[in-house]
């Protein structure tokens, strides 16, 4: 048995959803959910930044001025390349759907063609 299942069986848990139909604010389907996800990500980004700030402060209290070190750090060529690669990789993931759109265009994939393929496979092939 997994730990999570054990926990569910052995101890009480709080209620996670408020009773009451959630209103929709936007006309565009899915945008309400997308906005909530964006803000949850922003929340975690803020948590991470706070944690780094805490790390700097703890280090400083122990005699290591991380914050000052970060500000005066000079990156060598290897570090510059590592960072640039990480940023490009992040941007590729961030723009995943736009790149997929371009890929579909390059391969001349269309929604009509996609539906036709499903129909063909389901009914004929």
Partner 1 sequence: MLNTFQQADHPILPKATADEAARQEFAKSFKGFIQSTLLPGLTPVYQTRVAKKFERTHGRPPADRRDIRSGMVEDIYFQHYAAANRIAQELLWESVNGSIDRQLPDLIAKARELSAAAKAQLVIPEGFTPPRYVTALDIHCMPGGYCSEVCQDDVSVGALYDRGVYLYAMGYTGPNNDDMGRSVVNYLKRHMPEFKPRRILDMGCTVGHSTLPYKELFPEAEVWGIDVGGPCVRYAHARAAGMGLEVNYAQMNAEETSFPDGHFDLVVSHILLHETSGKAMPKIFAEAHRVLAPGGLMIHADLPPFDLMDPFTQFILDNETWYNNEPFWGAMRDMDQFALAEKAGFDRADVRFDTAPMAVMEFAAAAEGYSQEASEAVAEREFTAGEFAPGGGWEVLIARKPMDRKMAA
> Which residues contribute to the site for partner 1 (CB under 8 A)?
11-20, 22-23, 25-26, 32, 35-36, 39-40, 42-44, 46-47, 50-51, 54
**CA-closest candidate to residue 47, choices 39, 123, 90, 14:** 39
Considering the complex, state which of residue 36 and residue 85 has its C-beta at the smaller distance from partner 1: 36
Considering the complex, state which of residue 44 and residue 65 has its C-beta at the smaller distance from partner 1: 44
**How is 13-37 classified by DSSP, letter by letter?**
----S-SSPPP---SSTTHHHHHHH
Considering the complex, state which of residue 51 and residue 100 has its C-beta at the smaller distance from partner 1: 51
| Smallest separation (angstroms) from partner 1 to the CB of 27 | 8
């Amino acid at each position: 048995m997994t730990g999570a299942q054990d926990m569910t069986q052995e101890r009480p848990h709080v209620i996670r959803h408020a009773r009451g139909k959630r209103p929709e604010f936007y006309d565009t389907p899915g945008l309400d959910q997308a906005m909530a996800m964006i803000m949850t990500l922003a929340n975690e980004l803020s948590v991470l930044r706070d944690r780094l700030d805490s790390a700097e402060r703890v280090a400083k209290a122990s005699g290591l001025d991380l914050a000052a070190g970060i500000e005066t750090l000079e990156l060598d060529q290897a570090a510059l390349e590592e960072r640039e690669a990480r940023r490009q990789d992040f941007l590729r993931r961030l723009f995943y759907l736009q790149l997929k759109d371009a890929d579909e265009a390059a391969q001349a994939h269309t929604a009509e063609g996609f539906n036709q393929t499903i129909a063909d496979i389901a009914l004929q092939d």
